Amino acid sequence: MSAPTKEATGSDAMVEIRSVHKSFGPLEVLRGIDLSVRAGEVTVVLGPSGSGKSTLLRTINHLEKVDQGWISVDGTLVGYRRSGNKLYELREREVLRQRTRIGFVFQNFNLFPHLTVLENVIEAPIAALGRPRKDAVAAAEKLLARVGLAEKAGAYPKQLSGGQQQRVAIARALALEPKLLLFDEPTSALDPELVGEVLDVIKDLARGGTTMIVVTHEIGFAREVADTVVFMDEGRIVEQGPPADVLDRPVQERTRAFLSKVL
């Protein structure tokens, strides 16, 4: 019923983005974005700052509302209900339920500083999914072990390094068992020597078949992990394709100019 995506593409798309526009006041940040992400694939979004890539990511879990167009995740429209040719904005309660199926990892981690690492991870499963505390704790301990921080469960976030904090943030996002993971420049706030440990966790998730969209400046990571690389500039997708094409044989002049600066 609310799945215009599957009719339209007939594919196994996890995320469909269609002619999405977004403005902040007079500034048009997204100028018509179309993008499909297939289940199990890793999509890396590159682009200069101000190109709209973070805003695009934030529209996918409705942290930003779109002005035009639509986005669907796993066949369900995000933030709206379709009836005829109209999109009705959903109530907050329904949007919150949708968000539990989409994990989001922030540039600045945004861990809850007054809660321990374990409390950070079990908060959403208990409060949003209604899991029993015992189950949530058991699952959280497994997740913390998976990101290599089993022994830090009782620590407060500020007692951890940036890399450790971001790994906790990833575990926190995974605790909801999301169908899709969104990463907003997950390593940009880290000291250079801590970038590797976070990227390793993300690579591990990619190998496990999690559908991910990663906004980043790490070209090496894109080359190694991405199924699709998307290059954005001035609110538009300039070029997209396999990393071997976009990174090594870019067709567009703007892509080439950007890559020559960051490589």
Given the rule CB under 8 A, which residues bind another protein? 61, 63, 92-93, 96-97, 99-100, 102-104, 106, 108, 110-115, 123-124, 127-129, 156-159, 172-173, 176
CB nearer another protein, residue 87 or residue 129: 129
CB nearer another protein, residue 149 or residue 222: 149
Nearest distance, CB of residue 159 and another protein, angstroms: 7
CB nearer another protein, residue 79 or residue 250: 79
CB nearer another protein, residue 158 or residue 261: 158
Measure the CA–CA gap between 29 and 93, rounded to whole angstroms.
27
Nearest distance, CB of residue 74 and another protein, angstroms: 15
Nearest distance, CB of residue 236 and another protein, angstroms: 25
Nearest distance, CB of residue 176 and another protein, angstroms: 7
| DSSP conformation letters of 108-167 | T----TTS-HHHHHHHHHHHTT---HHHHHHHHHHHHHHTT-GGGTTS-GGGS-HHHHHH
